[in-house]
Structures are given as structure tokens and as C-alpha cells.
Chain A
């Protein structure tokens, strides 16, 4: 099987020379064949400034990345991570979005990139975020964005984003996502490399600074709304909620889900139900969503991948497939609106893995159809364990959300 071919439409020749984006995808289970095919489709003979590689966690990663690296010039960087699925549009319909690899190539004289990686992030997430964001200081072009790829299983990734904000300040937007492992919760990978070498880590965070002479837009959409009555988080630590309203959090949540403890002990069943009824933290302009990923029957606690602060007020959240897809398109539109009227040369998307589970294969196909047909520009991205986007304010960690980066 080869990578699907891609085409670039709607971008005039001159603009394509100064800034371009190409995407490629392969579902081949053979690592080096998959890497080569996806890279060829994305590059089509061009020399990129940076390539982003999003892939299934099951690949032999050095083997997958070797043919991609072999196609890079001496100054190009490679960044990427394992995922809960990936997509590249336009392209032939995916057999299985969870499988395969996607390569996104960015290039042109008026694009620049610089990247770095931090290891052992959980030792000091804030410091790691602050450190990798310093790559933005290497840029010289007017428009800038910092892209972060974090480990999806190391919790409290918002501390990484807080650290990056301390370095970046208000004027540089941030986007990104947390690496996945097809929702197995075992291990995820982040990588950074060049033509000559590549480093693959877990518990890492990769920072990629992109500079452009053209505008950069960021969009955020989730399509959820709260319902029911609020609960006070009376006891929590990090992402573990011990008590809601002074009762064991699990008891309260199971009542909300209308699940019996027996049903909830089936992990698959619990997760599928819980993904559809996340919790929302009360915020100034809406709710900050938290997905409950697991239940601990020993101490009656709930596990979220992100911080649920003690003292917070949370609501149940609900949605429907139409709202999810419409919010996804809204995210794209918001990003493109940020381009000040210039057409996008490409859109990079960070879509939540739990949204993928909720939508099911038909819903995913519908969402991808909507995303791919919205603009005359390639769209590619991956399914995350947490999305990163900061445009205004300082908060940059999101869940059950679709984040879009648009480059003009």
C-alpha cells in the first residue's frame, strides 16, 4: 500500500514558493515503506523547513523516521509524536484512522523553524515548558507561533503550557497536542530530529517555533455545553478527584452516568460512557472540560489526565454529534479568520482522541469530510490526549476540543 496522493489547490504559484504546506499519509504496517510513502507525498520533491510526523505508537519509530530524515536538507528539522490516530486531507478515505503515519511538510523562503526537546518533564513540568519555548527566540520573521507536543500520559500538562507562557508572553500564540497510544494509556513517544539523527523520548515535550512572513491563525472549538446541577470538588489532588460535594467522587459520577458499579467495572464500557459525559470547570467565558478516563474502585476516586483543582465547581457536560462536527468546522473558520483575509496554505489540526471515540467511525468520516472540504488547502493532524491552544488570556490547555493552526 502506498501513501495517498495529495494535491495543492487554490494556492498561486508565487505564494507556494515563499510558503507552502504539503501533506502525506500511509497506512502501510511496514515502517520504512510507510515513512517513505508519506514523506514523498508531502514533499513531492521539495525541500522543507520542517516536517511534522504523527504516527501509530506500534511502529518501529527509528525505522519509520529514517526514510523521512533521508529526504530532509541539512537545515530542516523533524518533530512529531505517537498518536490516537491521524489524518491528512485531501486524500483517499482512511481504512483505519488509528493506523498509519501522517507527514506534514512546511517550507518556502518565508518560513523558518527551530525546535528543541525537554526530557524527564514530570520532574519539573513548568521548567520544561519554559525551556522548550525559548526556541521562539531563534526566529526573525514577523509572525510567530509556538507548537508543543507533550506526553499525553504524564498528567498536568497545563503546567508545561504555563511554563511556556512565562517564556513566550502574550504576543506569541501557542498550539499543539499531547501524544497518544491509540488510547491504551501505556506509553507515548515524542521525537525531534534532523537529517543526521533523531531522538525518541517518552515523558518529553517538543517545542517547535514557526516563523512566517504571512499571518498565522489559531482556532479552538469543542461543541459542549453544561447541564444539570454543579458539584464542588471538595477533595482532589492533580487530576485525581477524591470527593465531590463531600461524597466519594465515583459514587456521585456513577449516579450522573446512570451506571451501576457492576457496569462501571467494565473499563471499556465505563470509558465510552464517561467520554460522552465529561466534567466542565466554571470559567469566565465558559467551561474548561475534563475527561474522566478511569475510575478507582479502591478509593472511590476518578482519574482525569488534567488537573481538577480542589475548590473548583464542576458541571456535567453534554453534546451531540452534530454539535461536535459543527464545532470542528468552527475551529477551522476561526483559525482562517485570523489570517486577515489571506487564503490558508495549510491547516494543522489537533483533535481530541476522546472525540474520535465518541463520534465512532461514521462520525469521524463525517467530520473529516467537513474539515477537508471547508477550504482549498491541505488539512492534517492527529488525535490527541489533550489539546494546546493559547491565543488570548494565559490558559492554554484544552480537552475534548479541536484546535486548528492556519498558515497563510
Chain B
């Protein structure tokens, strides 16, 4: 029988992880938690053996029948191993540490081991066991905490929401927004951002989803800048970042950033902060660590990953692509409209790209585009978004700036692109024309801004003397857009 959703069978692990999480969260005492955990671990991995060791003592085991589980189980190396001792059944073993990497504090140090006759464990299963071990460690620790019950329920509810958006094949942005929305609620209406990059390149970290308290008065430019900066530290150190960042003029915010690793290419951090949070507790950081772990596993779903790669990656330049850019622009426009703040857009078109492409070939053309991207990015603030819309068309989103204020970066970009590019030992000057438009303090929609900047760019291109043109103000007869917020 045909199976139109056959690829889902490959992702049984993400589905079972949620079940495991729900089951392990329920029992009230340590013995029951351990029993349920090892039962679910062997069932999920179709394995025969499982054990938990705490401080080098086996405290629970399954699969050895009436016999005692061999203590060697607790001494296996982390990761995959095959039994090479007669003390253990001849099987494949996998061991994970119970303190997830980056966990802030732990009074429980332990290991979760699983053994299977049939076949060696796949990488996906190792990732799954790590997540299971992290959850188990946290549940065990939390059993001793008072805030536990609410936190557990809260975590489960929020995780279910993320899982649901994935399993029902919501569009990628909805999945990512579900992650930040759930993170925000998990920590009690904090501001949350998911910051991702390709190929571990922290220079290209960008906020792919953002969920903020709608009542907040924070500056969105600062939001993204804080998120990216925190994510960078988390990613470079590989640990949870917990810092008090200077945030807004008068308030302080505690920032927590937890690394997420989705696969070999996509990494980043889940960042949360809250103005005036005051004392960020270890529990908050641990909750976020656990949640980030779960989310990492959940969105490793192939479909989501493929879309994510596609959505994030302009493979040639590393810039945002059209789709991501439009999301960011819509977001910026709604913020700008609500606060009656400026937002500006640069529309950049290379002048001699076609000639270079024709004369030096496509590879040279690609090199010009990549160099153009580097030079544009070099003139921008970390919170600005540069994107390649296709061909030799680039756009830059400048939040908080009016058209007049955008002249400055536009001039710098024109200067940068006027410098020669070296191709096969030849110096080539490409040059660019730029059109500028702004949101007219919330009166222009996102698409109207793009159209206006595009139109200004064409005027710039046709008047050879002037390489930057600013869109004329909207006619006064144009109706105002309704104000939101």
C-alpha cells in the first residue's frame, strides 16, 4: 500500500521522544521515574537492556531477568560500544551522560545505558538517547524542587505545541514561531529568539523567529542585537550563557542563551530574556536547556530541516534569501507602525554585472556576487538584514532609520562596491545603483516600501550622475494604513 507520508517513518524518534517525556514526567517518586524511564528507553529503541547509574552505582536495570545486572554496564564509555567482555551480554551498547552539556548545576551525576542485540545504534538514536538522558537527569533533580510540578506541566504543554506544529506540517515559519512562542511562555512571558546560522559561521547568525511580549517597550533593534550577541557567545563557548546585559536605557535584562544543534550544518541558540527579570534562577536555565534539547531533536525532522536549509540559505552569498527577508520586513514594518518609528530599505542593483558575467563567465559572476555580499555586510550594523533577492539584486533592511538617515550607509555601500574586484588577475569595477525608501512612519506597507525602493533604484540607474535616489514622499491623498497596536 502506498504511503504518501513515508518519510515520517524515519522520524519515529521525534514522535517517541515526546511520549517518553510525558511518561517520565508523571511519576512522583524516584524509583518510579527510573523504572518508567528505562522501560520507555528500551521500547523506543527496540532494545533489550537498559540501566541507570548514579554516582557509579547501578540504580535501575531492565532485561537481565532474575539475575543482577552486571556492574560493568555503568562503566561503558560514553557513546556507542560493543560488548568486549564476557560480563555483558553480546550486544550493542549506547551510553549517554545524564547531565546535558551546558547544564548549570547538578547534584545528580549519572548515566543512561541501553543495549540491543539486533543492530548497532544509529546517529539519530544516539541523539535521542542524549535527549532522553538529559530529560531524566532534570526530572530526577526536579523531584527535589518545589517549583517542579508547575514547571513540568508547563514544559510538557509547550513541547506538545512545538511537536504539533511539526507533525501537522505547518509552514516552517510557524514551526519556528511555535518554538519561540513556547519558549516565551515556558519562562513566563519572556522575550525569546531563535538565532541560527549555517556551517558554524557566527558572522552569519540571524534571528529566524522572535516572540516578544506585545506590551514591551524594548527597542527591536536592541532585541535582535542582544539575541545575536548572546547566541554568538553560547555557540562559541558551547555552553549556556547567562548574563546580565545592558538592555534599554533604564532597565536590565537577564539573558539566557542555550546552544542548539540541528544537524551538521545548522547551529545556533535559543535565547530568552526579560526586562527587569532580576534573579534568573538555575531552574530557568535548566528548563531552557532541556527545552532546547527537545526542540533540537524535534525539528531535526527531515522535512523541516530541508525547508530550513532552503529558507535560510542563499548558498552563494550566505545572505538571507527572499522569503526570510520578507518575513523580517513584515516584522519590522509592524513594529515600526506600532511605534511610529522609521524603517528604511535599500534596493541595490549592480551596474556592470551582466558585462562581467558575459566577459569572464559564470564562475567569475558568482565570485562578484559573493564579494558584493561581503562588502555590503561590512558596511552594516549587526542588526541590519541584507538579502539577495536573486540575480544581482540585493536589499538591505535598516530598522530605526528614515530615508534621510539611510543615505549614510547607502553612500558607504556605493563606495565599497566602486572598489575594483580582482578576477583572474584583472581588476574589474562593477559599481551599483541604490534606491532608498522608508516606511513613512507606518503609512507604507512592506510591499509598498519594496516597490518604492525599486522604483527609486531605477531612477538612480537611469541618471548616471546620481547613484543613489530616494523615493519621493507618498502623495498626501494616499489613505493612511490602519495603525496596529
Contact = CB atoms under 8 A, between A and B. Distances in A.
A170 B65 contact: yes
A243 B349 CA distance: 52
Contact of B47 (A229, A313, A393): A393
Interface residues of A, number: 41
Nearest to B43: A395
A361 interface: no
Given A227-B4, A318-B1, A232 B160 contact: yes
Contacts of B30: none
Which of A137, A169, A230 is most buried by chain B, counting CB atoms within 10 A of its CB? A169
A286 B46 CA distance: 11
Nearest to A246: B164
B46 A285 contact: yes
Given A230-B8, A393-B42, A395-B43, A311 B48 contact: no
B81 to A, nearest CB: 18
Nearest to A166: B62
B49 interface: yes
B46 A226 contact: no
B3 A234 contact: no
A14 to B, nearest CB: 33
Contact of A312 (B9, B19, B35): B19
Contact of B19 (A165, A168, A309): A309
A225 B1 contact: yes
B3 A227 contact: yes
A231 B15 CA distance: 11
A162 interface: yes
A284 B12 contact: yes
Interface string B441-457: 00000000000000000
Contacts of B266: none
A165 B63 contact: yes
Contacts, number: 124
A394 B160 contact: no
Interface in B2-20: 2-5, 8-9, 11-13, 15-16, 18-19
A172 interface: yes
A395 B46 contact: yes
A282 interface: yes
A171 B65 CA distance: 8
B21 interface: yes
A315 B18 CA distance: 16
A164 to B, nearest CB: 10
Given A245-B164, A309-B19, A165 B3 contact: no
B43 A394 contact: yes
A286 B12 CA distance: 9
B1 A393 contact: no
Contacts of B12: 282-284
A284 B64 CA distance: 23
A167 interface: yes
B163 interface: yes
Interface in A119-169: 134, 137, 162, 165-169
A171 to B, nearest CB: 7
Contacts of B62: 165-166, 394
Contacts of B49: 170
Given A170-B64, A230-B8, A313-B163, 6 more contacts: A165-B63, A170-B49, A171-B65, A226-B5, A282-B12, A311-B156
16 contacts: A137-B66, A162-B39, A165-B63, A166-B35, A169-B63, A170-B65, A232-B168, A234-B164, A282-B11, A284-B46, A311-B156, A312-B18, A315-B5, A393-B47, A394-B48, A394-B63
Interface of A: 134, 137, 162, 165-172, 225-232, 234, 245-246, 281-286, 309-313, 315, 318-319, 323, 392-395
